[in-house]
Amino acid sequence: MMDKFTSRRNHVYLQDGVVYKQCQSQQAAAFEYNLLQRLESAGVPVPHVLSCENNTLCISYVQGELLLDAILREPDSIETEDLCKKMANWFALLYAACPGKSRGDVNCRNFIITRENIVGLDFEELPEGSPETDIGRLLAFILAYDPAYTPQRIVFAKALWQVFQLSEDTIQAAMQAEFEAMAQRRKGFSITLAEKAAQKVFEL
């Protein structure tokens, strides 16, 4: 029995309790294999990588709920606060393990919520960058996924922003840059609507 996962760049599927990720090249597979080992050794919650052969990674399956789905639930203040603190802790561990680097691909499908923790997925890159850029882009994704700009999304984005306590101006600039990138990728995307939702995140 084989279950396929959504991936724009790679062929990813689950078989017999193991995730197989066929990367675009041997170099890409080796990069992610080595990075996952490094992050796991540093205590960053990531899937355990089992092997790397040619362009295929074998990775342990992580049972849980995508962050993308968790945000859609009716917000509970205690649950939301706990989840945001776990997100902040995950990013803190990443930055401690890889100084000067950023998560890069912060879309909400790349985080799984387990009973104990947040687990980060898909490490095809680890670019130089700042926490503000990561979190600003993450907030933009949280707000703009379909269905976009719902009360649940705004509540969660506001709570996450308050936990991180980073420079508001830099966060807003990163959000704006991501909204503009979304407008290039998505037909009919309204930057005006996105900006209005973002303003609500920073309202007292």
Whether 1 shows a pLDDT value over 60: the answer reads no
Q: 9 pLDDT exceeds 90? A: no
| Range name among 10-14, 53-57, 180-184 with the lowest pLDDT average | 10-14
**Is residue 204's pLDDT more than 70?**
no
Rounded Cα distance between 12 and 4, Å, is 6
Domains of the chain and CATH, by start: 2-60 (3.30.200.20), 65-201 (1.10.510)
* Per-residue model confidence as pLDDT tens digits over 13-27: 898 889 999 999 999
Per-residue buried b or exposed e for 171-190, using 16+ beta carbons within 10 Å of the residue's own CB: bbebbbebbeebeeeeeebe
Q: Report pLDDT for 133.
A: 93
Structure tokens, 79: 């649950």
For residues 168-188, average pLDDT = 93
Confidence at residue 11, expressed as pLDDT on a 0 to 100 scale: 85
**In the predicted model, is pLDDT for residue 65 greater than 80?**
yes
**Contact between residue 84 and residue 155 where contact means Cβ atoms under 8 Å apart:** no
Q: Going by C-beta distance under 8 Å and a sequence separation of 6 or more, which residues neighbour residue 7?
A: 21
What pLDDT sits at residue 74? 63
Average pLDDT over residues 84-108: 94
Give the whole-angstrom CA distance, residue 106 versus residue 49.
20
Mean pLDDT of the chain, nearest integer: 91
Supply 172's token pair.
Answer: 């807003």
For 75-101, letters b (16+ CB in 10 Å) and e give: beeeebeebbebbbebbebbbebbeeb
Residue 76 scores a pLDDT above 80: no
Rounded percentage of the chain residues whose pLDDT exceeds 70: 96
pLDDT tens, residue by residue, 101-130:
999 899 999 999 998 899 999 999 999 988
